[in-house]
Amino acid sequence: MSKTIRIRKGLNIRLKGEAEKVLVQADPPRSVAIKPTDFHGLTPKLLVKPGDPVKAGTPLFFDKYKERVLFTSPVSGEVADVVRGDKRRILEVRLLADTTTQFEDFGAADPSTLNRETIIQKLLKSGCWPLVRQRPFDIVADPDQEPKAIFVSAFDSAPLAPDLDFVIRNQREDFQAGLDALAKLTRGRVHLNVSPHSTAREFLDARNVQHNTLDGPHPAGNVGVQIHHIDPINKGELVWFCYPQDVVIIGRLFRTGRFDAVRTVAVTGSEARNPKYHRTLIGAPLAGLIGEVDGHTRIVNGGPLTGEKDGREGYLGFYTTQITLLPEGDHPKFFLTEGWMGPGFNKFSASHSYPTWLMPGKQYALDTNQNGEERAFVMTGQYEKVFPFDIYPVHLLKAILVNDIDQMEKLGLYEVAPEDFALCEFVCTSKINSQSMVRDGLDTLKKETT
């Protein structure tokens, strides 16, 4: 019953600074923040004001257009501040945490004995619902609809990504309970996708799911690639997906009745002094995790290809499982020594225009320099080498550029999310920011079709 799918296109970028397989129990954070900006397209309506007491699981805000979708506090304490940006847009809801956490009780229950609507209600009320997301559009799932399948990718193939086999350790029951709950949400299948190198029994022995194996370079671990090869999304269809650590949080809700937002985060990157795994909370402050960093370091809330640029004073994102510290690359480079005509013994390229392609084991400390200026599309065939979809990526991007909704649909925009274009963006000779273009295209398409 297990299927193996071979992904041939893609690219593994070998970076320095992989997290050592050591789990550090981080100090309970004093201050925590939930950021509405982590949920793309959300218009939040606040339910609390500064000074209000909260427990773990108390709603902080809800979705203006889907009032049932609540976003809750991961800690108990009080609301410290609501940080707003331009046009009073809410950026962060900051919370001051107690030393011991008090939880709202949502009632423990075995998900296999509950019906679909009860499970959805429980997920919504506890604030676990936003952990379940949907394709197309790569947004929080809509509880009023039913997906044709649910996908859980049990390996992350991105550069420096956390090893999920390590992360999932000792959480077998929670993970299984989460899968059982997800299985009730669809009449279709729950697909649990592993790589041939996966060893964790938590994944391999999971029940109530369809097991699939995907073999190949990054982006084989991307849920979008997996959906495309297993059960592709046609116009009008919905697929939901959930990260393994989020499945665990859902499982804990059913086993303990609590919204217990503990998760493991990998601190990675060539600038990380101590690349390790940390056990901490959703919304924990970054400073406590990364320790001291050099002033000229890029702090990425997420992975090097898809994360958000952040500061030391930032907070862990709702879906973030990785922090990446990279050298900032904002200095000019003389063309003969380290610029475009340089020998480039420290440059990584998917093309073979630098001698480093002859050194297959070398690891790189890449900085954040663009390595060139933005240009019109010139090279062709480059994206196709790292884009394992039966989609023409450049034609799709051009349809987005000219805002041709009909073409976007026909060329397969429903099947992709910005992260699927991350490698295209990386290899692009013309330095085109395709991830944000795909996001714009999805926004346009969503506005036009709903």
Residue of 353, 362, 448, 449 interacting with another protein (CB under 8 A):
353
Asked whether 381 and 5 are in contact (CB, 8 A), the reply is no
Contact status: 435 vs another protein (CB under 8 A): yes
Residue of 28, 30, 354, 446 interacting with another protein (CB under 8 A):
354
Asked whether 394 and 378 are in contact (CB, 8 A), the reply is no
Asked whether 434 and 424 are in contact (CB, 8 A), the reply is yes
Nearer to another protein, 256 or 429 (CB): 429
Interface with another protein in residues 56-85 (CB under 8 A): none
Residue of 295, 360, 361, 381 interacting with another protein (CB under 8 A):
381
Nearer to another protein, 6 or 431 (CB): 431
Contact status: 226 vs another protein (CB under 8 A): no
Residue of 5, 109, 262, 350 interacting with another protein (CB under 8 A):
350
Q: Which residue, among 340, 299, 294, has the nearest Cα to 317 in the 3D structure?
A: 299
Residue of 429, 440, 444, 446 interacting with another protein (CB under 8 A):
429
CB of 393 vs another protein, minimal distance in Å:
11
Residues in Cβ contact with 41 at an 8 Å cutoff, skipping those fewer than 6 apart: 137, 139, 443, 446
Contact status: 305 vs another protein (CB under 8 A): yes
Burial class (CB in 10 A: 0-12, 13-18, 19+), 450: exposed
Asked whether 312 and 288 are in contact (CB, 8 A), the reply is no
Interface with another protein in residues 309-338 (CB under 8 A): 309, 324, 326, 328-335, 338
User: Which token pair is 59?
Assistant: 């709603």
> 59-63 and 31-34 as β-strands: parallel, antiparallel, unpaired?
unpaired
Residue of 425, 441, 442, 445 interacting with another protein (CB under 8 A):
425
Instruction: Give the phi and the psi of residue 253 in degrees, each rounded to 5.
Output: -60, -45
> What's the full length of the chain, in residues?
450
Site size for another protein (CB under 8 A): 73
Residue of 340, 343, 401, 447 interacting with another protein (CB under 8 A):
340
Q: What is the sign of the dihedral through the CA atoms of 104, 108, 111 and 116?
A: negative
Asked whether 176 and 244 are in contact (CB, 8 A), the reply is no
CB of 133 vs another protein, minimal distance in Å:
19
Asked whether 17 and 297 are in contact (CB, 8 A), the reply is no
> Using CB under 8 A, which of the segments 16-24, 84-92, 161-169, 296-304 binds another protein?
296-304
DSSP 43-111: -EEE---TT-EE-BT-EEEEETTEEEEEEE-SSSEEEEEEEE-GGG-EEEEEEEEPSS--B-------G
Contact status: 384 vs another protein (CB under 8 A): yes
CB of 232 vs another protein, minimal distance in Å:
7
Contact status: 426 vs another protein (CB under 8 A): yes
CB of 391 vs another protein, minimal distance in Å:
7
Q: Which residue, among 334, 263, 267, has the nearest Cα to 297 in the 3D structure?
A: 267
Interface with another protein in residues 185-204 (CB under 8 A): none
Residue of 266, 412, 416, 420 interacting with another protein (CB under 8 A):
412
Residue of 307, 317, 388, 441 interacting with another protein (CB under 8 A):
307
CB neighbourhood size of 119 (10 A): 21
> Using CB under 8 A, which of the segments 25-33, 247-255, 282-290, 305-313 binds another protein?
305-313
CB of 64 vs another protein, minimal distance in Å:
26
Residue of 274, 368, 405, 444 interacting with another protein (CB under 8 A):
368
